[in-house]
Amino acid sequence: MSVPHDDLVRSIRLFISEIGGISISTPTPGLLFDKIGRPVKVGTKGVLDLHACIKGRFVTIDAKIGKDRLKPDQVKYATAVEQKGGLAFAAWSVDDVRDRLTLEGLI
Could you read off the pLDDT of 50-68 as tens digits, one per residue?
999 999 999 999 999 999 9
What φ, ψ does residue 35 adopt, rounded to 5°?
Answer: -65, -15
Residue 2 has a pLDDT of 66
**Secondary structure (3-state) at 63:** strand
Confidence of residue 42 (pLDDT cuts 50, 70, 90): confident
Element (H, E) at 58: strand 57-63
> What percent of the chain is predicted at pLDDT more than 70?
98
* Entry pTM: 0.86
Q: Which residue did the predictor score with more confidence, 100 or 32?
A: 100
**Structural domains present in the chain:** 3-103 (3.40.1350.10)
In sequence order, the 6+-apart residues with CB closer than 8 A to the CB of 20 are 54, 55
More confident residue, 33 or 23: 23
How far, in Å, are 55, 60, 66, 76 from residue 90 at the CA level? 20, 9, 12, 13
